[in-house]
Structure 1
Amino acid sequence: MLRLSRRLEMIAEDVPAGSRLADIGSDHALLPSYLAGQGKIVLAIAGEVNHGPFEAASKQVNESGLGSIIEVRLGDGLDVVAPGEVDVVTIAGMGGALIAAILDRGREKLGAVKRLILQPNVGEAIVRGWLLEHGWMLISERILEEDGKIYEILTAVPQAETTVTGEELYSPFTLPGGAVADRELLLKMGPYFVIEASPAWVTKWERELDKLSRVCGQLEQSSLEASQEKLAALREEMKRIGEVLECTQKAKP
């Protein structure tokens, strides 16, 4: 039986049974092969933009005997999909800016899509912002640490499919302890994550604070006005992140 990393397993768990899947940047077609083998999807398109991964994905599908369910296609982003052909799209292992660009360029392909499952390696706030701006409602945020890296999995549905609005989801609120989680901070840190404050999420932001602290140390060595302005902005960002982390920990029993 095909085994997946825990990251891909968590993505697979969010794919509804009976889905018609497009896995963009499929990387050996592992996710669609696993789902097809489980009988969870009725068809899949594994999209790859480069010839090497395309050949590897084609080999995986052929060797697993799943060619009647999975079709590997060579193309850029959602170019591999026809309008109305799929109802679930997964995009994993890319930067948030690239994921948002793929979705934006392929918006006409999303009319029949009922679920987006996105796993940005960085730039999660960019993905949340794109979803909010384009009528997609974030319904789930999941996070895990695997092999020393932390991954976020963001699942969204069309706004018409849920009664909660984006404005409600990102509405500012005050955490126990007094820190205000405003729209900008919720886009950055995740509206569900801020409430749940899981250990992996806390670790992610503690690491981010360490990274920002190192950048501040470098900026302190410069007397340039632009550097000092950047330093002040970073210190304010660190202050707000730190306050949220402190408040979420205080709120735990």
Structure 2
Amino acid sequence: MIKLSRRLQSIADRVTHGSRIADIGSDHALLPVYLVQSGKCPSAIAGELNKGPWQAAVKGVAEAGLRHAIDVRHGDGMSVLQAGEADTVTIAGMGGSLMSMILETGWLEGKLAGVQELVLQPNVGEDIVRRWLVERGYALQHETIMEEDGRIYEVLHAAVLAEADAHNESLYDPSFLPLHFTEQEGKELLYAMGPLLLREPSEWLIRKWELELEKLGRICGQMSQSDTPEAREKEAAFRREMSAIREVLGCLPTVRPSSN
């Protein structure tokens, strides 16, 4: 059986046993191969737009002896999927804006009909993906944050629930944090930092936002060299953002270092 990276393994761990998956932007189809080899999924669709990775996926699936169970398809986003073909959709390794566009196109075209869960790993723009999930009535079930090769990643697992609206309203209620913000400001922070990640903070969550503070500090330092009103305004906005992040981090419970 192939061995996945920590990032891909975190995605695989969230896929429901027995589900048919469609991996959009599958690259070399490592995730579908692993899920079928391990017996977790009976079948898979691996969709890939770029010709080189698509050819590598076709070869890898054939070498694994899984052409009967994994259909490697060449196409853009959700164009490779038909309604009712998958129970789970996985998308990983792209920005949250692009990921949300792919999901929205699939939603509008009916490609997500019958899909019961989404396992998503945006490289950036996680807040955009969380907003899309809420807008389209998916209930966030789990959030995972980890480090791999010097980068920090988040994996979001969302499912179709009859009571999704009530679930999301409770999930994005910021009252569990003792913050000095309006309710809307608190919600914005939950979208950005992760409502479940903040409820069970880890060392990697803290590290991610410490790095963000360092980046924003550098930007503010550069902007302070300019005398334009626009620069002053942007610097003030960034400093307000930094203050909000510090306040959130300051009210989280102490995190024990990971043994990993």
Q: Specify the alignment match of 2:9 in structure 1.
A: 9
**Counterpart Cα distance in 2 of 1:163 and 1:79:** 28
Q: Specify the alignment match of 2:88 in structure 1.
A: 88
Cα offset, 1:161, TM superposition: 6.3
3-state SS, counterpart of residue 226 of structure 2:
coil
**Counterpart Cα distance in 2 of 1:24 and 1:101:** 13
Cα offset, 1:70, TM superposition: 0.3
Paired letter, 1:128 = R
Change (3 A) 1:251 1:51: closer
Cα offset, 1:165, TM superposition: 2.2
Which TM-score applies when normalising by structure 1? 0.95
Partner deviation per Cα, 1:81-124 (whole Å, 9 max, x = no partner): 00111010000000000100000011011120000000000000
The correspondence for 1:228, drawn from 224, 228, 232, is: 232
**Counterpart Cα distance in 2 of 1:118 and 1:157:** 11
Q: Specify the alignment match of 1:214 in structure 2.
A: 218
Q: Is the 8 A contact 1:24 1:78 kept in 2?
A: yes
**Counterpart Cα distance in 2 of 1:12 and 1:131:** 20
Cα offset, 1:172, TM superposition: 2.2
Aligned-residue identity in percent: 54
Cα offset, 1:163, TM superposition: 8.0
**Counterpart Cα distance in 1 of 2:138 and 2:58:** 32
Q: Specify the alignment match of 1:53 in structure 2.
A: 53
Q: Is the 8 A contact 1:89 1:113 kept in 2?
A: yes
Paired letter, 1:85 = E
Cα offset, 1:175, TM superposition: 2.4
Cα offset, 1:168, TM superposition: 1.5
3-state SS, counterpart of residue 73 of structure 2:
strand
Is 1:75 paired with 2:79? no
3-state SS, counterpart of residue 26 of structure 1:
coil
The correspondence for 2:208, drawn from 170, 188, 204, is: 204
The correspondence for 1:112, drawn from 101, 114, 123, is: 114
Question: What is the CA RMSD across the aligned residues, in angstroms?
Answer: 1.6
**Counterpart Cα distance in 2 of 1:156 and 1:187:** 14
The correspondence for 1:194, drawn from 195, 198, 209, is: 198
Instruction: List structure 1 runs of 4+ shifted beyond 2 angstroms.
Output: 161-165, 178-181, 249-252
Q: Specify the alignment match of 1:138 in structure 2.
A: 140
Q: Specify the alignment match of 2:173 in structure 1.
A: 171
**Counterpart Cα distance in 1 of 2:123 and 2:147:** 12
Q: Is the 8 A contact 2:96 2:128 kept in 1?
A: yes
Which one has the bigger strand percentage? 1
Cα offset, 1:251, TM superposition: 8.7
Cα offset, 1:209, TM superposition: 0.5
Is 1:99 paired with 2:99? yes
Paired letter, 1:217 = G
Q: Is the 8 A contact 1:179 1:244 kept in 2?
A: no
3-state SS, counterpart of residue 162 of structure 2:
helix
Q: Is the 8 A contact 2:49 2:77 kept in 1?
A: yes
**Counterpart Cα distance in 1 of 2:103 and 2:165:** 23
**Counterpart Cα distance in 2 of 1:5 and 1:121:** 15
Paired letter, 1:198 = S
**Aligned residue pair count:** 251
Cα offset, 1:196, TM superposition: 1.1
Q: Specify the alignment match of 1:151 in structure 2.
A: 153
Which TM-score applies when normalising by structure 2? 0.93
Could you tell me which runs of 5 or more consecutive residues in structure 2 were left unpaired when the two chains were aligned.
none
